[in-house]
Structure 1
Amino acid sequence: MTKQRIVAIIGGTGLQEFTGDGVASGTVGGRVTPYGETSSEIVRSQLSDLSCVFLARHGNPHTIAPHKVNYRANIWALKQLGVSDIIAVNAVGGINPAMPAASLVLPDQLIDYSHSREQSFFDGESNPLQHIDFTHPFSASLRSQLLAAAKAVNLPVHDAGVYGVTQGPRLETAAEIKRMAQDGCDVVGMTAMPEAALAREFAINYASLCLVVNPAAGCSEQLITMDDIHKVIAQGMGQVRGLLSQALPVIISDPLN
């Protein structure tokens, strides 16, 4: 017997709400977990006769810094709702010149430069110590479905890339970005870890849909301004919403064995 997938969207900067082609239909579950409170209420959204759940990573309104997000509470709460797949939306800086501002990227690898975050459910304290295979941090099948949806609506998306995860909330120095470029990073953001690893520990398919909102430090002669970033977010998140609305019915309808 097959079960229907339950898909969660974790919205990042610029995506504090998601209603698909319908309307939000109320909160599901509670915010309190064994690991503290989730970043926001988890909201069910309708897409025609299908539904998904949505969680605002930085809260709604946007108030929680990247290094202060309670990643364990967020992923634990989604697991308790039976979530099988997570699409994480991330605003990032572009390091690779082929990925300028307003580009959409589906990374296939990451390098973690963050620190001092609660990284695991299996830490030998709250749960017995376990090790997970994290060779490929993002779900290949979920990435493929998102890429197919992008092609269906003629939306250009980079189908690979290395996401460098920094601590934040400050942006990086030019020297740090130079080092990250030498390491092979294509984009830089602050929230893919430990989120991706925690999802893997709970066997939840996880993919990151990145919107490049600015050239990373030193990659442009111009200084990075928040006004420029907000302009790209305002335009780009419309494309993100359109892509998600196209992809979700296909993903949700894919049988879960």
Structure 2
Amino acid sequence: MAGPVADVGVFGGSGFYTFLEDARSVEVSTAWGAPSGPITIGRVPIGRAGLATSGDDHVSADDDVRVAFLPRHGPDHRHPPHRVNYRANVDAMRQLGVRALVSPFAAGSLRPEIKPGDFVVVDQFVDRTSGRADTFYDQFDEGPRHAPLAEPYDAKLRAILLDAAAAAGVTAHDGGTVVVTNGPRFSTRAESQWHRAAGWHVVNMTQYPEAALAREAGIPFAGIALVTDYDAGLDEAPEVEPVTQETVFRVFEANLDRVRELLLSAIPALARR
């Protein structure tokens, strides 16, 4: 590609299959195969949000922000979490030239204070997946490549998302650990209790290896959870029912406008990261 095509990249999660109107579809081929589906490129006016910006100003005040959007499960949710081509998805965003990559995702809460409908701007993950292609470096042809990942989520992007959440008047928890399970099944009660006892906050099936691959690709990355349920239930609230697929999709759909509004508010500042 001749120069960057997009400024900000967004992965769509369960129920989040389209984003911007008047977007054009682009096909991107990668060495890792095809991404989950066509990527759409749309524009967000810089003047949409009055959030403070940080870092170098890559975008002038007269420009729109070009946003690349890709639903990670495909436009019809055909790809289960353990079969998503994460390498192709992240590499496609790299080829498009995005300088910030945001990953909204549905999550189950492991804490009574983190309620369905809340957002969590996570700062750590724990990987409990297996069998996923999770690195671009299958061989060290040019020498060792060991990515540092002590802080997997970009602090500046996280701050921008928290500011956008505050401006939108939504509850967003600052920090939290997401434990990533392989799926597509949900947790047993014993697994959920284990995750809670370990001190983790939310559970999801897709944040790994997205975050690790973004680091290898050199793209600042942030994950924001929309809490849809309480996983397998809460010990202190036996009346809480375990999660079902229907619950996840229903709650996410009911909050999808809030997800979009938060992203639209944040994108001008994300482009200036």
TM-score normalised according to structure 1 size? 0.91
Give the aligned partner of residue 225 of structure 1. 244
Structure 2 residue 132 is matched with structure 1 residue 117? yes
Q: Show structure 2 runs of 5+ residues with no match.
A: 46-63
Q: Which amino acid aligns with 2:146?
A: H
The superposition leaves residues 193-242 of structure 1 with CA deviations (integer Å, 9 ceiling, x where unpaired) of 01100000011000001111111113253233333323211221111101
Distance in 2 (alpha carbons) for counterparts of 1:101 and 1:166: 19
Against the structure 1 CA distance between its residues 58 and 126, is the aligned structure 2 distance closer, same or farther, given a 3 Å change threshold? Answer: farther
Match of 1:12 in 2: 13
1:242 aligns with 2:261: yes
CA distance in structure 2 between the aligned counterparts of 1:68 and 1:200, rounded to whole angstroms: 21
Q: Give the CA RMSD over aligned residues.
A: 1.8
Please point out which of 45, 50, 55 is paired with 2:42.
45
> Is residue 104 of structure 2 the alignment partner of residue 83 of structure 1?
no
Residue 193 of structure 1 aligns to which amino acid in structure 2? Y
Aligned counterpart in structure 2 of residue 34 of structure 1, from 28, 31, 35: 31
Q: Which amino acid aligns with 2:198?
A: D
Give the match for residue 168 of structure 2.
153
Answer yes or no: is 1:72 the counterpart of 2:70: no
Among the aligned pairs, what percent are the same residue?
A: 36
* Cα offsets for 1:36-70 (capped at 9, x unmatched): 11001110012133221101100001110000000
User: Equivalent residues in 2 for 1:175-254 (5 A)?
Assistant: 175-219=190-234, 221=239, 222-252=241-271, 254=272
Question: What is the CA deviation profile of residues 104-132 of structure 1, one whole-angstrom value per residue up to 9, with x for unaligned ones?
Answer: 11011111000110110123268754101
Worse-matched range after superposition: 130-139 or 219-228: 219-228
Total equivalences in the alignment: 248
Q: Which amino acid aligns with 2:81?
A: P
**Contact 1:123–1:130 under 8 Å retained in 2:** no
8 A contact 2:7–2:65 mirrored in 1: no
Q: Which amino acid aligns with 2:169?
A: N
2:38 maps to a residue whose letter is E
Question: Amino acid of the residue matched to residue 199 of structure 2?
Answer: G
Q: TM-score by structure 2 length?
A: 0.86
User: Aligned letter for 1:64?
Assistant: H
Report the secondary structure of 2:207's partner residue. coil
The one-letter code matched in structure 2 to 1:37 is A
SS of match in other structure, 1:158 = strand
Find the aligned partners of 1:16 and 1:10 in 2 and give their Cα distance: 9
Does the Cα contact within 8 Å between 1:10 and 1:88 map onto a contact in 2?
yes
